[in-house]
A and B are shown apart, each in its own frame.
Chain A
Amino acid sequence: MEYLQLFFFYLVALVAIVAGFCVISCKNPINSAISLVMTFFCLAIFYVMLHAPFMAAIQIMVYAGAIMVLIIFVMMLLNQGAEVIARYRHAVIGAFVAAALMMVQIIVLIKQGAVSATVGPISSDVIETVGHTELIGQALFTDFLLPFEIASILLLVAIVGAVVLAKREV
């Protein structure tokens, strides 16, 4: 059973990484976008595996359903063709080197670190009985009420800003 889970994890992780690689390597931005949606899907699956179904649903709703739709929409409006990447070959190589260095470092850091034990009260059983949505809701509307309200204001500001910026004549 556990090996099944692990196999499933590696499968999804592989898909996520391949899709992620497509995001950065596809010449056509639309294909990049589709790949990114795929990556988001994989992440949503991970969230479900991590007993966070609410976050998974939100992930798909917000990222796949809203943000990416918006991005694809804009790409269609602007109708950009495939881009030329090869102009600064050395820069591309440099970027790969830097990112690889960073990745190695982070992984080393993770491996060095000691993982602490579970400290909070919320286990998978609690999530099963109480419900993930309820738990999120309780946290959001008690301890995090102020940030929540501020986030709503942020969204409002963003809406106004987007309308003002994208309008042809203000």
Chain B
Amino acid sequence: MYDKLWLIPLFPFVGFLINGLLGKKIKNEKVIGAIGTLAIFSSFVVSCKYFLQLLEDSNKVHEVVVTSWMSVGQLQVDWGLLLDPLSALMIMNVTGLATLITFYSIGYMHGEEGYFRFFSYLNLFSFAMLMLVLGSNALVMFVGWEGVGLCSYLLIGYYYEKKSASDAGKKAFVVNRVGDFGFLLGLFLLFWSLGQKGVWTIRFTEIAANAHLLENGGLIVTIITLCFFLGATGKSAQIPLYTWLPDAMEGPTPVSALIHAATMVTAGVYMIARMNGLFAMAPDTMMVIAIVGGATALFAATIGLAQNDIKRVLAYSTVSQLGYMFLAMGVGAFTAGIFHLLTHAFFKACLFLGSGSVIHGMHHAYHHAHLDDDPQDMRNMGGLRKKMPITFYTFLFSTLAISGIPFFSAFFSKDEILWWSLSSTRGHWALWLMGALAALMTAFYMFRLVFMTFFGEQKTDARAKDHIPESPLVITLPLMILAALATFGGLMGVPHVLGQYIGHFPNAIENFLAPIFEHTQHLHHIEAHGAAATEFTFMGISVGIAVVGIGLAWLMYCKKPQLPGLIVAKFPALHRAIYNKWYIDEFYDAMVVNPTKKLGTTLWLIFDVRLVDGLVNGVAWVVKGSGRALRYTQTGYTHNYAMSMVAGVVAIIAIYVFN
């Protein structure tokens, strides 16, 4: 039934091999792009087949063992793939978006140096991501986990001649390593502590089935889950390890869309959802997750308010939205978190690709006019509505979605998260407040972005302004598909309160995911009737918040463009702090990076130079001294050596003769 599951990761891997090994020979961009797209598209087709099959199937969990990997002591690891509703949704998400974005890249990357490299990396990334979501045990997942980190590093540093790009790549890698360390520690601890109870396993199904052996809410579970959560913060850019994501915008825009918005950064969310049984047993960890998620959502949103780089705004928006997902995870609303993950993937991918389209156009214009201005700076844009209509409309729909305008996709998902953050047994009004404030800011800065880019008068340099074209179909087609998804994607998770009014419209995603989260259902306390009114009230409040945010943006950037300047003048310190990202990077440099460097230098001076080198040199000295003494026996004349050999022979024969 599901035994061909391994085809899904295989196709992109084959694509990677072909483009990676032969790409340099092929040279033809169309062929390379076609290979890359076809590889991931084939994977998408297979994914669709299995997804539809799973929808019909009554048994929702299927594990396929491809081959044995290793067997060490109690540890038995297979290359196993796991298909259940959660991973099925994820593979659909990954393969679908990767197909669109790879296709988009054919146009976007046109004429770039190392074209084949880009496509082979994209395919490798898809492979690693699919291994991550399909892995049936923690080790296979970890392979994918590291693989996506590697591809992220490679793709951020794609323009490796640029110092900022290669630095950003390194930063992403190193910061991710911190998280990975936590993941590994958690994994070891989990393996060991389960082993103490007699179950030596790292398979997810067995972990879920045996989690109850551990003490509920005990110290061990808390530590394990905290370690895993540290891993998640690294990969998913949460406080305190979020700093790499904004810098990752140095990579090409399709990379930002695919890796740093839609798929890889959600790996942490996915991992927590995958181990929900374990996390549900650690209320303290859940609280930490919720607080960190909410704080990140709020904190990143504030930074997003003042950025001028179009991609950077989106990057902070991504961090903020990821914060939402963690907030959902923290309050036990796993379904809502995964739902938001999906809708976020749609609209954020669309937003990134749209910004890519804008940058592409700006770049084209600047290139045409031989100007050196920054094509990503929003202050140079404005009025692009008429120049690139398709980009504008798709962008607008996605922005409406992210802002939470009713019936656009994120309205459902975000609203559900906000509702659960208040109503869940783990919820709290403070969490809701953080989420709501973040939502206000989100609506504000996203529309700030739209207004600055597409409305008002064109601020582009006069020499370039007439040469901004609409992007070709290869770029706009994915935009349109994604915009459609961003607009209507929310329908798969219409909440009950709304669904019951429109002909009992089912909450499809919740039903579908129910078997995965059955152990955590007890967190949801819904008094079916009494809460409906409250839920409607809060729904209204969040819509209101969104409208207020949009209105503010309109006021400040369309109606009275001088207003932002006045506010900045009024609170210069605040603006500077926000503009400089609250000086977090500087803070990290001062607190972590520089002390580490200093420690390294000190250790090198004391330990390495004195002790290690001293030891090595001491040995060398002894050898040198004895060599100096012994070398007088080495005359260098062959005859002398031969002579000593003959003397030896004479001695040996003498022993024989006189015995």
The interface residues of chain A, by DSSP majority, are classed as helix
Check if B657 is an interface residue, CB within 8 A of chain A.
yes
Contact partner of B647 among A91, A98, A106, A108, CB < 8 A?
A98
Distance A101 CA – B643 CA, assembled complex (angstroms): 13
Check if A105 is an interface residue, CB within 8 A of chain B.
yes
Check if B603 is an interface residue, CB within 8 A of chain A.
no
**CB-CB contacts of B616-644 with A at 8 A, as 1s and 0s?**
00000000000000000000000110010
Distance A155 CA – B476 CA, assembled complex (angstroms): 71
Residues of A within 8 A of B649 (CB): 102
Distance A166 CA – B649 CA, assembled complex (angstroms): 34
Distance A106 CA – B650 CA, assembled complex (angstroms): 9
Contact B643 A102 (CB under 8 A): no
Contact A108 B657 (CB under 8 A): yes
Distance A91 CA – B653 CA, assembled complex (angstroms): 22
List 15 A–B pairs whose Cβ atoms lie within 8 Å, in order of A's numbering: A88-B639, A91-B639, A91-B640, A95-B643, A98-B643, A98-B650, A99-B646, A101-B650, A102-B646, A102-B649, A105-B654, A108-B657, A109-B656, A109-B657, A112-B657
Contact A109 B647 (CB under 8 A): no
Distance A165 CA – B308 CA, assembled complex (angstroms): 70
Check if A65 is an interface residue, CB within 8 A of chain B.
no
Closest 4 CB pairs of A and B: A105-B653, A98-B646, A102-B650, A105-B657
Q: How large is the interface on B (under 10, 10 to 19, 20 to 34, 35 or more residues)?
A: 10 to 19
Q: A102-B649, A102-B650 are in contact. Are A94 and B643 (CB under 8 A)?
A: yes
Distance A93 CA – B229 CA, assembled complex (angstroms): 86
Residues of A within 8 A of B654 (CB): 105
Interface residues of A in 103-144 (CB under 8 A from B): 105-106, 108-109, 112
B656's nearest neighbour on chain A, judged by CB, is A109
B647's nearest neighbour on chain A, judged by CB, is A98
**Given A94-B643, A105-B657, 4 more pairs with CB closer than 8 A:** A91-B640, A95-B646, A105-B650, A106-B653
Nearest Cβ distance between residue B636 and chain A, in whole angstroms? 14
Distance A94 CA – B643 CA, assembled complex (angstroms): 8
Residues of B within 8 A of A112 (CB): 657
Nearest Cβ distance between residue A110 and chain B, in whole angstroms? 10
Nearest Cβ distance between residue A12 and chain B, in whole angstroms? 27
Residues of A within 8 A of B653 (CB): 102, 105-106, 109
Distance A106 CA – B656 CA, assembled complex (angstroms): 10
Nearest Cβ distance between residue A87 and chain B, in whole angstroms? 11
A108's nearest neighbour on chain B, judged by CB, is B657
Distance A153 CA – B649 CA, assembled complex (angstroms): 32
Distance A108 CA – B657 CA, assembled complex (angstroms): 7
Distance A112 CA – B656 CA, assembled complex (angstroms): 11
Distance A98 CA – B651 CA, assembled complex (angstroms): 10
Of the candidates B639, B649, B650, the one having the most CB atoms from chain A within 10 angstroms of its own CB is B650
Residues of B within 8 A of A98 (CB): 643, 646-647, 650
Distance A109 CA – B655 CA, assembled complex (angstroms): 11
Distance A88 CA – B656 CA, assembled complex (angstroms): 32
Q: A105-B653, A109-B657 are in contact. Are A91 and B643 (CB under 8 A)?
A: yes
Nearest Cβ distance between residue B580 and chain A, in whole angstroms? 64
Distance A98 CA – B653 CA, assembled complex (angstroms): 12
Residues of B within 8 A of A108 (CB): 657
Distance A13 CA – B657 CA, assembled complex (angstroms): 26
Distance A94 CA – B649 CA, assembled complex (angstroms): 15
Distance A105 CA – B654 CA, assembled complex (angstroms): 7
Distance A102 CA – B649 CA, assembled complex (angstroms): 8
Residues of A within 8 A of B639 (CB): 88, 91, 95
Nearest Cβ distance between residue B457 and chain A, in whole angstroms? 74
A105's nearest neighbour on chain B, judged by CB, is B653
Nearest Cβ distance between residue A92 and chain B, in whole angstroms? 10
Distance A106 CA – B657 CA, assembled complex (angstroms): 8
**CB-CB contacts of A82-98 with B at 8 A, as 1s and 0s?**
00000010010011001
A106's nearest neighbour on chain B, judged by CB, is B653
B639's nearest neighbour on chain A, judged by CB, is A91
Of the candidates B647, B653, B654, the one having the most CB atoms from chain A within 10 angstroms of its own CB is B653
Residues of B within 8 A of A95 (CB): 639, 643, 646
Distance A102 CA – B646 CA, assembled complex (angstroms): 8
Nearest Cβ distance between residue B274 and chain A, in whole angstroms? 60
Distance A101 CA – B650 CA, assembled complex (angstroms): 7
